[in-house]
Amino acid sequence: MIVDLPSTSTAAIGKQLVQLRNEVGALALGRVLTLIVVVDDDAADEAVEIATEASRQHPCRIIVVISGSRRGANRIDGQIRVGGDAGASEVVIMRLFGKLAEHGQSVVTPLLLPDSPVVAWWPREAPSDLRHDPIAAMATRRVTDSAECSHPRAMLTRLAETYQPGDTDLSWTRITLWRGLLAAALDGPPYESVTAATVAGAPDSPSTDLLAAWLAWALRVPVTREDTQAGSGICAVGLERSSGSIDLARPGDLVATMTQPGQPDRRISLRRRGDAECLADELRRLDADETYADVLRKGSARLGHHEGSQPLGRGERVEARGRTRAAQPCGATSDGRRRGRLLALNRRHDHPRQGFRVHPDEAPRHPVDLSHRAHRPDHEGAAVMSEHPTNAPLVVVHPDKQGVSDAAGARLLLALLDTLCVRDDAHVVLTGGSLGSDMLASAGRSPLARLVDWSRVHLWWGDERYLPDGDPDRNETQNRAALLDHLPLDPAKIHGMAGPDRSDSAEASAAAYATELRAHGGGLFDVVLLGMGPDGHVASLFPQHPAQLVSDAIAVAVHDSPKPPPDRVSLTFECLARSRQVWLLVAGADKAPAVCRALTPGAQRWDVPAAGVRGLDATLWLVDVEAASELPS
Ligand code: 6PG
C-alpha cells in the first residue's frame, strides 16, 4: 500500500503510520531498527529499492530523506509504503523543500522508533565530516559508499581522517568474498610467508584500494596497487611466495580463477556483490568494524596515498612506498603475464596457532566478519598473520555429549533465524555420526524450531555412505529419523547424496552432487556442521587418505574408508571452506587426542583433517569436557 501526503508534516506522517498499522497490521514496534537513507532526488528511487530489498529479511522502518529545491517555501511531500512492495518494512519517504532541505534531522527525529538502533546510509555523496552531521549523530552505524562519490579516493582519505566507531563503507563490504577466499586459500600445504602482493583493479574502485590497504596493513609486505580499466572493479589479487606466485583473477564480474603452484586452476564463483546484499550485511551488525577502521587508517597509510600525500591519481599504480605506474587493461599485465598475484594470508606451518580460546559453557562471540587477529613479523620481517583472520577456532566446552547436542541444536536454530532475516534461503551442511543426529533431535525439541521458515532451508550433507536411499546406515536416513522427516521442509531443498540406487558409482554420485550444488549457487554455505572421528577425520576425509588431495572438485568419491562402510562420497576441503561458519561437534574421551592435535600449532590437515576446515566468518568447536581434556588449560 502507498499513501501520498503532499505538503504534509511529520506529525501527520506519524498519525498516518499509526492508522496504517492498524489497518494493514504492519509489523510496527517490533521492528529491529530504523534505517535512515539520505539521498538527493536523482538517486532516490534506486535508493528506496535497494533499502527495501536489503530490509526484506530484516524488518525495519526506512526513513528516506530527499533534499529537494532549497529555493521557495518550506515544504514536506511525504509518502508511506507498507505491506506489498515494502515487504515486512514500512517506508517513509520525505522530500524536503526550502530551508527544510538543509535540516533533515528535524523531520527524522519525530519518526524514530523508540529504543531501536538507527543505521544511516548515504547512497551517494556523504557529509564531508560525519562527526559533525546531525543525522550521523543519531546513528549507531553510518554507512557511506565511496564508490558512489565523485572522488572515491579522496573520500577514503576523508573517511580515514574522520573515522569514528560505527562508520563503515560499502566499498569495504563489497570485498568480503575476496577476503573470505584469501582467508581460505592457504588452508593446505605449503604454508609459506607472503613476500609481496599485487592488487589490480579500476582506478575508480575504492574496493580495490581497500583490498590493497587490507593486505598492506595485515601483511606488512610491499603491496602494488595496479590500475586497470575504469569500471572494471577488482580484477586480480596475487602473492609472491618462495614456492612460486599465485593468482586469483576475475577478468569479468562472475567467475574467478585461482592458480597456484602444483595445483590445477580452479574456477570459483566470485560475483560482484549487489548494493542490497551489502547493505543487508551492514544491517546485520551493529558493532563497530575494527578491521575496517584499521585498514582505512593504517592500511591506506601504508599504501602511501593517505598520509598527506596526493590521493592516488587515476590510471596510476601505487607501490607500498607510494610510487605509481601506468594503468593496464584488466586481466593483462605490462609484461604479458597474468595480472596480479593472489595474496594469501601468511601462515607458516610452525606459526603458533593463536586465537582459540576455551570457554566453558559460554556462548561464543557473535560470528565476526573477516578481520584479522593480531599479526606479527616473522623472522623474515614479513608479517605473519596469526592464523586466519577472525575465524581462528573458538572452542566452547560443555559438560557432556548431551550438552554439545543441545547447544549445537539451539545454535543452529538461531543461525537459521538470523540468516533467514537477511537472505531468502539458508544453506546448511549436515553431518553423520551420532552427534550429527543427536543435535538435530535436540533442535527438534526446542521451541525455537517452530520459528524457522523451514521451507527456505536447503540441507546438504558433508558426506554420505554410498548406500541406497533409506538404508539405516546412511547419514541422511539417520538425520531424517532424528528430525528432518518431522519438519515442513521443501523436499526439493533436501539434497541427499545419491547411493548405488541412483548412481552408477560413488564417482558419479560425487559429480552429480557437484552439479546440484552449482545449480543452487555454487556453494557458499551458511553453516557447515561436522562431527569428528577419533582419528581426526571430518566428513569422509580421513587422515592421509588420497581423497583429501582432490582440490579442484566440490565432492569426491572415497573408497577404502577406515570407518565402515568403505565406500562414501564426501565434500572436499575446498568446498567445506566455502562456508560462513564451520562448527565441529565433538564429544567423548576417545576424541581428546585428535581435538588437541587438530588445535595444536602447525597441525597439518593431511594428518588431522579436522585441522583443515575453517569458516569464512567463524570456526566453532563445540566439545564436551572429555573431548577437551587434553587441550592446554
Ligand atoms: C560419518 C560421519 C563422520 C562422523 C564422525 C564422528 O559418515 O561417519 O560423517 O564424519 O561425523 O565419525 O562420528 P560420531 O559423532 O558418531 O563420533
Segment 488-519, tens digit of pLDDT: 999 999 999 999 999 988 988 999 999 899 88
Of the listed ranges 155-159, 282-286, 523-527, 558-562, the least confidently predicted one is 282-286
In angstroms, the CA 546 to CA 350 distance is 24
Of the listed ranges 210-219, 222-231, 275-284, 358-367, the least confidently predicted one is 358-367
User: Is residue 41 within a helix (H) or strand (E), and if so which, with residue range?
Assistant: helix 41-54
Asked whether 52 lines ligand 1 (CB < 6 A), one says no
Task: Read off the pLDDT band of 281 (50, 70, 90).
Answer: confident
Of all protein residues, the one whose alpha carbon is nearest to atom 1 of ligand 1 is: 432
The answer to whether residues 547 and 560 touch, using CB atoms and an 8 Å cutoff, is no
Asked whether 432 lines ligand 1 (CB < 6 A), one says yes
Asked whether 140 lines ligand 1 (CB < 6 A), one says no
Nearest ligand 1 atom to the CA of 531 is: 11
Asked whether 479 lines ligand 1 (CB < 6 A), one says no
Nearest ligand 1 atom to the CA of 435 is: 15
Q: Where is mean pLDDT largest: 23-32, 72-81, 186-195, 304-313?
A: 72-81
The predicted pLDDT at position 391 comes to 53
The answer to whether residues 533 and 592 touch, using CB atoms and an 8 Å cutoff, is no
Q: 531: CA distance to ligand 1 center in Å?
A: 5
The grid coordinates listed for 156 are: 577514503
Of all protein residues, the one whose alpha carbon is nearest to atom 12 of ligand 1 is: 533
Of all protein residues, the one whose alpha carbon is nearest to atom 13 of ligand 1 is: 433
The predicted pLDDT at position 113 comes to 83
The whole-number average pLDDT for the span 600-624 is 89
pLDDT for residue 346 is more than 80: no
Pocket probe for ligand 1: among 435, 438, 439, 479, the residue whose CB has the most ligand atoms within 8 Å is: 435
What pTM did the predictor assign?
Answer: 0.54
The predicted pLDDT at position 263 comes to 76
pLDDT: which is higher, 422 or 633: 422
In angstroms, the CA 442 to CA 588 distance is 18
The whole-number average pLDDT for the span 53-78 is 89
Asked whether 609 lines ligand 1 (CB < 6 A), one says no
For the four alpha carbons of 82, 85, 91 and 97, in that order, the dihedral sign comes to: negative
* CA 381 distance to own-chain centroid: 30
Task: Read off the pLDDT band of 62 (50, 70, 90).
Answer: very high
Residue 310 per-residue DSSP state:
P
pLDDT: which is higher, 429 or 338: 429
The predicted pLDDT at position 187 comes to 53
pLDDT for residue 378 is more than 80: no
The whole-number average pLDDT for the span 74-80 is 96
In angstroms, the CA 291 to CA 297 distance is 10
Q: 402: CA distance to ligand 1 center in Å?
A: 16
For the four alpha carbons of 187, 193, 198 and 201, in that order, the dihedral sign comes to: positive
Asked whether 522 lines ligand 1 (CB < 6 A), one says no
Kindly give the interhelix angle for 401-422 and 275-284, rounded to the nearest 10 degrees.
Answer: 140
Nearest ligand 1 atom to the CA of 539 is: 10
Task: Read off the pLDDT band of 183 (50, 70, 90).
Answer: low
In angstroms, the CA 220 to CA 587 distance is 40
Asked whether 370 lines ligand 1 (CB < 6 A), one says no
The whole-number average pLDDT for the span 73-99 is 89
The predicted pLDDT at position 25 comes to 58
Q: 529: CA distance to ligand 1 center in Å?
A: 11
The whole-number average pLDDT for the span 4-22 is 91
Nearest ligand 1 atom to the CA of 463 is: 9
Q: 436: CA distance to ligand 1 center in Å?
A: 7
Q: 247: CA distance to ligand 1 center in Å?
A: 35
pLDDT: which is higher, 218 or 376: 218
Asked whether 478 lines ligand 1 (CB < 6 A), one says no
Q: 466: CA distance to ligand 1 center in Å?
A: 14
The predicted pLDDT at position 334 comes to 36
Q: Do strands 90-97 and 618-624 pair parallel, antiparallel, or not at all (unpaired)?
A: unpaired
Asked whether 431 lines ligand 1 (CB < 6 A), one says yes
pLDDT digit string, tens, across residues 18-53: 888 777 654 444 556 899 999 999 999 999 999 999
Q: What is the mean pLDDT of the chain?
A: 82
pLDDT for residue 13 is more than 60: yes
pLDDT for residue 142 is more than 50: yes
The predicted pLDDT at position 584 comes to 98
pLDDT for residue 418 is more than 90: no
HSE-CB at 420 with a 13 A cutoff on CA atoms is 18
